[in-house]
């Protein structure tokens, strides 16, 4: 009966079916693939369209997993339009997110997100998209230190998040207290983190934000008990390259491409300077923005060098890594950040309250919102992959 149920769900996705994406060796379809993306569809090119009928995909108040740092309505945001935009790729459409299909395909499996708070936001978005398809008594959620685990008991499936903002071990590894003025990473190995990654059937990595806090990154060489250890500085792009190569080598040693899938989510953009989209007001940023940027030629401040490093290194992997390109489409969404409508770790001063732009969060995203679209792209990549892994 379970097989018949999956087949019925796949049939419902018929408009998106053609030959399933092939593995790198051409030996057969990629794990989890039930079809493939339409030929010539570039999801990075398109536009945001208002869709009040289909959006939002869930309500903020009905999803118990959203952290108070992302519940914008609960913290007084006066507008809701940011919830109602749908990404429309040029020349094709995204398949509708089907929670039951995803849960069936994850039956008996383990899906793991690894990265920073933006990846955690995408993880929580996915839980919000799935949880209504699971009876209340058949699901659970817990967080212990750096690991969060959502269990769908009837499916014997877990969807997890592991906090590792720089992927390598770093002085930012505490999942709660992780502010650090000077980023310090361990050059090698990454055994402490990667021990949690082993055995995942679907791995979803991200890493960007913490690498662009400065031009240089400090690297600790040698073991903790090694008196010869020292700290060296390296350009952040090159340190990032070094760490990504370590991740690739780990994947090649530990992931069976015939059974598992690996994805890397590209950089999530910020909107800290309004002059970038033509707002000449002093101090203008994402605060008070209520609509996306409509200029299709707009390019944000995301580091193209870091993006290039990501693509170059992941392309060397003998284990296929699907690149989930969220950057370009998210750069238009100046309106969808949490702004000041979130739980504040430090109470704003009177001066800050007089100018809300001064403490607006133009990095993280309200839920529901933009991360739901990231999960629609991930859903497409997982179940309807293109033969080109780097769209």
Is the pLDDT reported for residue 47 higher than 80? yes
- Cα(128)–Cα(131) distance, rounded to whole angstroms? 6
Whether residue 12 lies inside any domain: the answer is no
Q: What mean pLDDT comes out for the span 209-227?
A: 78
What's residue 172's pLDDT? Answer: 86
Is the pLDDT reported for residue 7 higher than 50? no
Q: What mean pLDDT comes out for the span 103-125?
A: 98
Is the pLDDT reported for residue 25 higher than 70? no
Whether residue 194 lies inside any domain: the answer is yes
- Cα(386)–Cα(36) distance, rounded to whole angstroms? 6
Q: What mean pLDDT comes out for the span 308-336?
A: 97
pTM assigned to the model: 0.92
Whether residue 390 lies inside any domain: the answer is no
* Residues forming beta bridges with residue 217, ordered by sequence position: 234
What's residue 8's pLDDT? Answer: 52
Whether residue 13 lies inside any domain: the answer is no
Q: What mean pLDDT comes out for the span 244-253?
A: 97
Q: Which residues are catalytic?
A: 117, 361, 364
Range of the domain at 311: 42-383
Is the pLDDT reported for residue 124 higher than 90? yes
Query: Phi, psi at residue 82, to the nearest 5°?
Result: -60, -20
Q: What mean pLDDT comes out for the span 195-216?
A: 94
- Cα(243)–Cα(32) distance, rounded to whole angstroms? 28
Query: Phi, psi at residue 147, to the nearest 5°?
Result: -115, 125
- Cα(218)–Cα(254) distance, rounded to whole angstroms? 28
Q: What mean pLDDT comes out for the span 113-141?
A: 97
Whether residue 157 lies inside any domain: the answer is yes
Number of domains in the chain: 1
Is the pLDDT reported for residue 381 higher than 90? yes
Whether residue 16 lies inside any domain: the answer is no
Q: What mean pLDDT comes out for the span 278-304?
A: 94
Binned at pLDDT 50, 70 and 90, residue 21 comes out as low
What's residue 391's pLDDT? Answer: 38
Supply the CATH number for residue 105's domain.
3.40.50
Whether residue 249 lies inside any domain: the answer is yes
Binned at pLDDT 50, 70 and 90, residue 257 comes out as very high
Q: Which two tokens stand for residue 221?
A: 């060489």
What's residue 222's pLDDT? Answer: 63
Whether residue 21 lies inside any domain: the answer is no
- Cα(333)–Cα(286) distance, rounded to whole angstroms? 9
């Amino acid at each position: 009966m379970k097989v018949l149920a999956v087949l019925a769900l796949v049939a419902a996705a018929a408009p998106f079916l053609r030959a399933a994406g092939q593995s790198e060796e051409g030996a057969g379809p990629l794990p989890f693939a039930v079809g493939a993306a339409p030929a010539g569809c570039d999801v990075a090119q398109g536009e945001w369209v208002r869709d009040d009928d289909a959006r939002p995909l869930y309500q903020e108040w009905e999803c118990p997993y959203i952290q108070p740092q992302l519940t914008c309505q609960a913290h007084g945001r006066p507008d809701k339009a940011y919830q109602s935009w749908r990404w429309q790729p040029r020349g094709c459409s995204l398949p509708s997110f089907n929670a039951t299909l995803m849960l069936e395909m994850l039956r008996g499996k383990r899906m793991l997100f690894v990265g920073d708070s933006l990846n955690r936001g995408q993880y929580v978005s996915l839980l919000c998209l799935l949880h209504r398809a699971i009876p209340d008594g058949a699901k659970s959620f817990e967080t212990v230190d750096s690991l969060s685990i959502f269990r769908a008991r009837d499916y014997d499936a877990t969807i997890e998040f592991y906090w590792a903002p720089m992927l390598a071990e770093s002085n930012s590894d505490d999942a709660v207290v992780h502010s650090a003025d000077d980023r310090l990473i361990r050059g090698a190995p990454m055994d402490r983190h990667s021990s949690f990654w082993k055995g995942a059937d679907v791995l979803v990595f991200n890493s960007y934000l913490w690498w662009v806090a400065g031009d240089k990154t400090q690297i600790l060489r040698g073991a903790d008990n090694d008196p010869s250890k020292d700290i060296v500085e390296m350009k952040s792009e090159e340190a990032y390259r070094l760490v990504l190569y370590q991740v690739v080598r780990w994947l090649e040693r530990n992931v069976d491409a015939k059974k598992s899938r690996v994805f890397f989510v590209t950089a999530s953009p910020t909107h800290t300077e309004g002059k970038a989209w033509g707002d000449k007001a002093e101090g203008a940023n994402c605060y008070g923005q209520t609509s996306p940027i409509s200029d299709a030629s707009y390019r944000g401040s995301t580091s193209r060098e870091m993006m290039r490093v990501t693509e170059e290194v992941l392309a060397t992997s003998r284990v296929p890594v699907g690149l989930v390109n969220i950057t370009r489409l998210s750069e238009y969404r100046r309106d969808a950040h949490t702004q000041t409508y979130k739980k504040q770790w430090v109470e704003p001063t009177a001066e800050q309250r007089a100018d809300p732009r001064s403490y607006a969060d133009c990095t993280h995203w309200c839920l529901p919102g933009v991360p739901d679209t990231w999960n629609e792209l991930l859903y497409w990549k997982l179940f309807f992959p293109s033969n080109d892994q780097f769209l």
